[in-house]
Structure 1
Amino acid sequence: VINAINEMEHPDKNIPRAIYSAVFIAVLIYVVIALGAILAIPFDEIIQSKEYALASGTENVLGHWGSDLIILGALLATSSAISGTLFGASRQIAIIASDGYFPRILATRVNKIPVIAIISMAILAFLLVLAGSLEVILEFGSITFLLVSLLMTYANYRIRDLTHSSTFVTILSFCGLLSGMTLILYYEFHNQPQQLVFIFSLYFLLTAGSWAYSKAKRAA
């Protein structure tokens, strides 16, 4: 939501409303689905089916219509996640490019939409899928989201007097994000260390490339 600050009217009012509304709706949906699954699906089946427990349980209750409904919901959720990622990350790339750390062409906007950044992100994602696997991309995305959110929370804490943010909420958010970051890194380190090496290698390449580009541009 905050990535659309330059594309909305009255962001000082609409951004807080959008954030709180989105969080409330997301929590409500997750709680309702979790309660429905627990009440309708036996625990043994949940443990046995694992990732597709909801689809399996819904099929037992509603027949093939239930599993089809879950598949449709999964497709919509995946599409929404991809759209949200492209929406937010492309605008961040455009801002970074306008600051001189990425090629200026990535900051090009058509009707306020960073078209070049979106296309570049799609190509990069395609290359990452070819270089690794879908699981690696998912883990990379999860860690990156946590890392970016953690840094943004820290930055917000530093300028909390300007943003009029609640110190308690900011610190609580920082601790929660830090805990999540620690847990996912711990899991990756003990279960799939090769993925962790691949992810940190990507971070190093992106950081080094950005630093080298900005340094070369300033020298020129």
Structure 2
Amino acid sequence: MVGGGIFTILGISVAMVGVYTPLIILIGGVLACFAAYSYVKLGVYYKDEGATYSFFKKTFPASPFAASLIGWWVIFGYISTLALYAYTFSAYAISGFAFGDSELARKLVAGAVILAFTLINLWSVKGMGKVEDLMVYTKLVILAIISFVLINNGSTSLPVLFQSQTSVNIVSILIAASLTFVAYEGFQLVINAVNEMEEPQRNIPKAIYTAILLAVLIYFVISLGAILAIPFDDIIRNKEYALAAGAEHVLGHWGKELIIAGALLATSSAISGTVFGASRQMAVIADDGYFPSILSHRNQRIPTYAIICMSALAFLLVFAGSLQVILEFGSVTFLLVSLLMAFANFRIRHLTDSSTLVTLLSCAGLLAGTGFILYYEFANQPEQLVFIVAIYVVLTLGSWIYSRLK
């Protein structure tokens, strides 16, 4: 989770709200904390690796369609984030080559990195964990260096940027903040590893809240350094690899290479972690009959076919959509799913020992975030809204068919 999101959302955020980018990252982090509250409470109460799907199924046992629907939605939400991070990885990986702006080249590289981490996850849980640890610790060091260097090479100041900023209304800020929600996606995956975790009662909340706070801090500092050091035009023009494109003029060749290395590590660990956690959730759903039964097959506890299926669908999504479409679909999906989790937690708040006020605030914030994105799509990019709605129609139909078969 930590680090990958900033490389994905920075260019799009600056294009939408300019100097307010660090602010929307903070607002997105607050929204993520509200979402995490219900996940932590339900995760500690149920201790089920099926996570989102299992929580909803157990909270509403009389509705097989509801269980199937949220299962399909959340899995395809994870598939969209796989596609998102793979696309961002490829944009940074080939940014220094003559064919760096080629859509086909980006999509082929994205497919290659998905394949690489599919094979790593099929190899072994322990092997994947060691690779993930190495990438996480290395990227955190690189991200800290990037933050320090960008801020120290700032060519302007916040007062100057605010003076030159064109008018941005509060609705635009809240829309952009809602779009950043997908950058915090990943904390839910902690719960998918509950069967391989020591002391889940203590480690679930510790891991989730620490990850969100670290992500907020890293995203905020890097976005602040970026807007101070890199001209907005450079960030917006090359939004798929904004940090690398702008940093070369500010930090030179080695600065650019360092940022590319950070981006590749950050997106790689996000891909690997998502494949690991979401494939286990997919296997649980398939075992209950809401996905093809072959997806529940495990080889030494590794859900082999679920991993392969998720990776293949992510590759197809990379080829079907642009970076912004994938980002918006992912944000809407995780806002909707988190809203349903908050509602489920509210339903059994006496069992999970949850605060009624915090749970209601979570529901209100997540509902508002979903509404802001849909409003933005309707007003500005109706064709993308049609694409997103079409995906939801297909997912809903598939979930309904499997719930009827069950």
| 1:185 aligned partner | 374
Q: Does 1:201 align with 2:390?
A: yes
Q: Is the 8 A contact 1:143 1:181 kept in 2?
A: yes
- Which amino acid in 2 is paired with 1:18? A
The answer to whether the Cα contact below 8 Å between 1:7 and 1:112 also exists between their aligned partners in 2 is no
CA RMSD after TM alignment: 2.3
1:92 pairs with one of 276, 281, 285? 281
The answer as to whether partners of 2:325 and 2:384 remain within 8 angstroms in 1 is yes
Pick one of 294, 298, 319 that aligns with 1:130.
319
**Consecutive aligned runs of 4 or more in structure 1 exceeding 4 Å deviation:** none
CA 1:49–1:126 in structure 2 vs 1: closer, same or farther (change >3 Å)? closer
Counterpart of 2:306 in structure 1 is 117
TM-superposition CA deviations, 1:153-174 (whole Å, max 9, x none): 2212212222223333333332
What is the DSSP-based 3-state SS (H/G/I as helix, E as strand, rest coil) of the residue aligned with 1:89?
A: helix
SS of equivalent residue, structure 2 residue 354 = coil
Over 3 Å counting, the alpha-carbon distance change for 1:104 and 1:8 in structure 2 is same
Match of 1:8 in 2: 197
Are 2:211 and 1:22 equivalent residues in the alignment? yes
Residue 109 of structure 1 and its aligned partner are, at CA, apart by 2.5
Asked whether 1:141 is paired with 2:344, we answer: no
Per the alignment, residue 102 of structure 1 pairs with 291
Call closer, same or farther: CA 1:61–1:131 in 2, change over 3 Å. closer
Equivalent residues of 2:297, 2:303 under 8 A apart: yes
Q: CA deviation at 1:92?
A: 2.5
CA contact (8 A) 1:102 1:214 kept: no
Other-structure match for 2:266: 77
Deviates more, 1:7-16 or 1:79-88: 79-88
Number of residue equivalences: 214
Higher relative contact order (CA 8 A, sep 6+): 2
Contact 2:234–2:245 (CA<8 Å) still a contact in 1?
A: no
Q: 2:234, 2:246 within 8 Å by CA — same for their partners in 1?
A: no
- 2:360 maps to a residue whose letter is I
- Check conservation: 1:54, 1:70, Cα contact below 8 A: yes
Q: Is the 8 A contact 1:154 1:174 kept in 2?
A: yes
Once the two structures are TM-superposed, the CA of residue 53 in structure 1 deviates from its matched residue by: 5.2
SS at the partner of 1:165? Answer: coil
